[in-house]
Amino acid sequence: MLFSFENYSLDTDRRELRCGHDLISVQPQVFDLLEYLIRNRARVVSKDDLIADIWSGRIVSESALTSRINAARIALGDNGDVQRLIRTVPRRGVRFVGSVAEHDGTERASPRSESASSELGAELPEPPERPSIAVLPFQNMSGDPEQEYFADGMVEEIITGLSRIKWLSVISRNSAFIYKNKPMVIKDAAETLGVRYVLEGGVRKSGNRVRVSAQLIDGQTDAHIWAQHYDRVLEDVFALQDEITMCVVGAIEPSLWKAEIDRIKRRRPTSLSAYDLVLRSLPFVLGHIPQDSEAAIPLLEEALRLQPDYATAHAFLGRCFHHRYARGGLREEDRVAAIRHSRAAIAYGSDDATALATAAHIIAFDEHDTATALKLFDRALELSNSNVFALGFSAIVLAWMGKAELATERAERALRLSPFDFYNFRAHHALAVVFFCSGRYAEAVDAARSAVHANPRFSVAIAVLAAALLRAGRMAEAHAAARDVLLHEPTFTIRGLLLVSGKLEPAVFGVLAEAWREIGLPEQ
């Protein structure tokens, strides 16, 4: 059955929710909730109805139920204030109030091969404005029919992992598998499926070892964006699929960010969407200096003018105000704005791992609410366990809190998933703090140098490098690094950093501050 309302369609056979041609990723229980509300739109459904029919009578907390309803609203561009499609009826329940048309599925347009589309004269779907990807069936290169299950299972796991990336549309398995065991051209497949990016790969087994290869391709230009292979011992099939999926998804997300930024730079800056504006701001957001933040703020504010509930825009705008506060004068209005936008990102992005992690970092450093921050990081990693923002930001917060073991685990996981990713300067910085506080000064120097190499203008990482060089007995290099701190942040003071980072765990800050005083960095 196909239900159509406004510009949306809910396909119960394929379990797909679309806005126009854009496939919207939703969790299975959220899809079930939407389908249930739409089918029962003639009446108000109570909490007991939902628990009985969707959760089969299992105990479900009030917060979990509210979270699922909010996620359903967000998927439809709705919210709890407007209640355009899903309306709460006080003390009774909820009801779907949109105008719905039902189809039996015979009119449903499905992706076809180029030849089929040509024969029928069908119009091919256009790639959606936001990035979209199809994971094609992986080739079984072992010549062993019994390995088909592993190759197909690998694809299903990767599709599931990619579907957790909020800003990415992922074509369903059923649509992509029309190409199983069929010759095809990548550009033609991308055009037929209406996607911008294609992931293809293969599986080869020899004895008890397996090699999984994957490559990410721009479906419009046929350019290769990323490629990698993974060699593993085949012991536990499901554990192996989980491990490789985490590696693939963790590497693809930053690669897609970079590809999208490069793509938007080639477009004329006219009639930009909120998503385009966020992409244009991202290089400045990641700069970690107030001057870059000044360039990003108007772009993000314009994005929010176009889409006030855009969680990622709120999160990135919060980061910009954080940079202005922490390294641009410690103005209270910047700190308040950083917290306000971070809280908005949490409210609008309860199912967006990047927004939650970015907001959590600011909640920790600017609001000093570490309990909330750690819960948000855990939630982000539940949504996407290979999200580079969640791993990197949480590693930094944990390092400054003195939670060395977990900080190291998160940082090392980020580096293992994508060792050459620019965003991993955060992971290197976290390791530098951990190593310094444990007296492993040579390792702290190496980690801090890696952080500075990845982001040369990140003054706090340079300051940690200066402290590590001092304790390692490399005085001349330490003094040179201290001068670099003031070159990149002329207003740097130990007291200023205390107000931001030092309150998380005074003992961690104390050992670093002692080294900074010895090397001559200003107290205030």
Q: Average the pLDDT over 396-425 and give the result.
A: 87
Given a cut of 60, whether residue 164 has pLDDT beyond it is yes
The tokens for 326 are 């922490």
- In the predicted model, what is the mean pLDDT of residues 109-128? 39
64 or 15, higher pLDDT: 15
By the 8 A CB rule, do 174 and 152 touch? no
In 401-521, alpha helices (H)? 404-417, 425-437, 441-454, 459-471, 475-488, 494-497, 506-519
pLDDT band at residue 109, thresholds of 50, 70 and 90?
A: very low
Mean pLDDT on 182-196: 82
Q: Which residue has the tokens 């314009």?
A: 302
The pLDDT of residue 126 is: 43
Pairing between strand 93-96 and 224-233? unpaired
Distance in angstroms (rounded) separating the CA atoms of residues 251 and 232: 17
Return the minimum-mean-pLDDT range out of 70-74, 112-116, 131-135, 454-458. Answer: 112-116
Predicted confidence (pLDDT) per residue in 121-150, tens digit: 344 444 445 788 889 998 888 777 767 878
- Residue holding tokens 């459904």? 45
Give me the mean pLDDT over the 3-28 stretch.
Answer: 79
3-state secondary structure of 116: helix
CA distance 133 to 169: 6
At residue 356, the pLDDT reads 94
CA–CA separation, 377 and 330 (whole Å):
25
pLDDT, mean of residues 468-489: 94
Give the span between the Cα atoms of 163 and 104, in whole angstroms: 27
Domains of the chain: residue spans and CATH: 2-103 (1.10.10.10), 123-252 (3.40.50.10610), 386-519 (1.25.40.10)
Token representation of residue 518: 């010895």
Question: Which band of pLDDT confidence, cut at 50, 70 and 90, is reported for residue 177?
Answer: confident
Alpha helices in 164-310 (DSSP H): 173-176, 186-193, 237-265, 274-285, 290-306
Asked if 133 contacts 170 with a C-beta cutoff of 8 angstroms, the reply is: yes
The residues, ordered by sequence, that sit 6+ positions from 264 with a Cβ below 8 Å of its Cβ are 276, 279, 280
Strand 132-135 and strand 169-170: pairing?
A: parallel
Q: Which two tokens stand for residue 219?
A: 């479906």
Q: What is the 3-state secondary structure (H, E, C) of 294-359?
A: HHHHHHHHHHHHHCCCCHHHHHHHHHHHHHHHHHCCCCHHHHHHHHHHHHHHHHHCCCCHHHHHHH
Q: Give residue-wise pLDDT tens across range 273-296.
A: 888 888 888 888 887 788 889 999
Phi-psi label, residue 192: left if phi above 0, alpha if psi -120 to 50, beta otherwise: alpha
Banded model confidence at residue 239, pLDDT cuts 50, 70, 90: confident
| Distant-in-sequence, close-in-space partners of 200: CB < 8 Å, separation ≥ 6 | 136, 138, 186, 214, 215, 217
Report the alpha-carbon distance of residue 142 to residue 127 in Å, rounded. Answer: 34
Do 422 and 454 form a contact (C-beta atoms < 8 A)?
yes
- How many CA atoms within 13 Å lie on the side-chain side of 9? 18
Half-sphere exposure of 153 (CA within 13 A, CB side): 13
Residue 114 binned pLDDT confidence (cut-offs 50, 70, 90) = very low
Q: Distance (Å, rounded) from C-alpha 243 to C-alpha 240?
A: 5
Give the pLDDT of residue 270.
Answer: 53
Convert the pLDDT of each residue in 18-51 to its tens digit.
877 667 766 777 888 889 899 888 888 888 888 8
Separation between Cα atoms, residue 394 and residue 380, nearest integer Å: 10
Highest average pLDDT, of 219-223, 226-230, 306-310, 333-337, comes from 333-337
Mean pLDDT: which of 104-118, 163-177, 427-441, 485-499 is highest? 427-441
State the DSSP code for 499: I
Report d(CA 410, CA 380) in Å as an integer.
13
